[in-house]
Amino acid sequence: MLKKILIMASGNGSNFENIVKKLENQVDIELFTENKSAYVIQRAEKLKVKTHIIDFKSFSRDEYDDELYNFLKKQTPELIVLAGYMKILSPKIVDNFKIINIHPSLLPAFPGINSIKKAYDYGVKITGVTVHWVDRVVDTGKIIEQKSVKIENSTTFQKLEKKIHEIEHEIYPCVLKKLLGL
């Protein structure tokens, strides 16, 4: 039987689509989103991936956390894969599941949101992508994999953004394969 992973995404879903296309015959993939208008839902429909939605806006924060925890307990995925999931996970969830995340900078530099822009505006000459375990604090968990990219004087922000996403699409499936023993 294939191992099961749950990808959690809140928006665009390019990492979700890339992982599904690269690993669909090797692992059983389902999608979770808390945002019922996320574009990732359309991607999942096209790819025939089962989607679970808990609408964040319909609950108080505590209720949402409980709903999500109970859902995850029932799902029992081998691994939870955050790919642009924009809500903070409760300590109870983080402590009870194996969760990884992808982040568009070389952590611990530029945690949080808009990291590509922050790195670009800061003028760093090297930035990149990090895959890390998720712990109780945002973007601080132990690093699993990193890949760097050089920012030349001629690099525009748009070019950098494109390159970062290319790197994400290259390394996330590789990390998953390694972690799942595929």
Residues identified as active-site: 103
Residues 153-182 that bind ligand GRF (CB under 6 A): 168
Identified binder of ligand GRF from the candidate list 7, 8, 9, 176, rule CB under 6 A? 9
List phi, psi (to 5°) of 163: -65, -45
Identified binder of ligand GRF from the candidate list 103, 106, 128, 176, rule CB under 6 A? 103
How far apart are CB 11 and ligand GRF at their closest, in Å? 5
Which among 28-36, 56-64, 97-105, 140-148 is the span making contact with ligand GRF, rule CB under 6 A? 97-105
73 Cβ partners below 8 Å, 6+ apart? Answer: 96
When asked if residue 105 is in the footprint of ligand GRF (CB under 6 A), the reply is no
Helix residue spans in the chain (DSSP H): 14-23, 39-47, 61-75, 91-96, 115-122, 157-180
- Distance in angstroms (rounded) separating the CA atoms of residues 133 and 94: 10
When asked if residue 12 is in the footprint of ligand GRF (CB under 6 A), the reply is yes
- Paired tokens of 157: 């922000």
Residues that bind ligand GRF (CB under 6 A): 9, 11-16, 83-84, 102-104, 168
